[in-house]
Structure 1
């Protein structure tokens, strides 16, 4: 990892379920209790997705746990959050997501120099046989590494 980056949450299943075409670093519009919960590591990207509405990008289903000392000013855990992208990037995404099978999937959330950032991916869904092929390749690679380690011990 590079200097000043702390990964808070990852969506490991996304790389298994999708072919990643392109990634974007986005900022997020957050409330005070949300950023405090994120800094405490209480965020979950599982089942979250992004959608373009009225020329803006919004993140749905991302869970940020309520802040423990947040009292009545606490946030809604599953609220829709606005993502901050450049206009040029948004127009590119609008064109690409209109194509069949493309979707916007968050890969990881991290803190970069004190700001919460989200790595958003333009992804195309994998078929079941693609997922099996990926698992076969991963197993074969693991076997090669294991054999290499055994060979070095001798």
Structure 2
């Protein structure tokens, strides 16, 4: 059987872009159990409350929800267990120092299969204030109006 090629998105965390300013992104592998992989292949995962945290010099992903595999037996996994992130040692040290500096956190942005391996895209993020969110919404609405007006002018309707 040939190996899977390309990138298949399992879940994405769109709310993260609303709540945080993403400064940098990193791709990491995840240590998973067999039933977790089978559940992910069915496209079942939720990144809504998930976050990355350092413990004993390693990075872990907390509150990632992967539902139990329906066809699993007593070997099924706990849906919200803590999962280890697989990164290069230099990347781990760099991310830990940046999160310790202040105000930064690790937020999972998307989860996907890349060439058959489960990966998670982590964002080094800084929390937004309420007025920052309003400014982003106003900017997005203004850009939408501009593109609408340009479309009308190109079509010759105004």
TM-score range, shorter chain: over 0.9
- Structure 1 or 2, whichever has the larger Rg, is 2
Q: Residue 149 of structure 1 aligns to a residue in which SS? A: helix
Structure 2 gap ranges (5+): none
Partner of 1:8: 10
User: Quick check: 1:46 aligned with 2:54?
Assistant: no
d(CA) in 2 for partners of 1:9, 1:146: 30
In the TM superposition, residue 115 of structure 1 has moved relative to its aligned partner by 0.6
3-state SS of paired residue (1:46) = coil
Q: Which runs of at least 4 in structure 1 moved beyond 4 Å after TM superposition?
A: none
> Aligned runs of 1:1-154 on 2, under 5 Å?
4-154=6-156
Displacement of 1:19 in angstroms is 1.0
Tell me the alpha carbon deviations over residues 73-98 of structure 1, each in whole angstroms, 9 at most, x when there is no partner. Answer: 11100000000011001111111111
Q: What CA distance in whole angstroms lies between the structure 2 residues aligned with 1:7 and 1:149?
A: 32
1:7-49 CA-partner distances (Å, limit 9, x unpaired): 1100001111111111110000000000011111000100100
CA distances 1:78-131 after superposition (whole Å, capped 9, x unpaired): 000000011001111111111221000000001001110000111111111111
Equivalents in 1 of 2:151, 2:40: separation in Å? 39
TM-score (norm 1): 0.95
Cα distance in structure 2, aligned partners of 1:106 and 1:146: 33
SS of 1:43's partner is coil
Distance (whole Å) between structure 2 residues aligned to residue 44 and residue 149 of structure 1: 37
Measured on the aligned residues, the alpha-carbon RMSD in Å equals: 1.0
CA deviation after TM superposition for structure 1 residue 62, in Å:
0.6
The 3-state SS of whatever aligns with 1:44 is coil
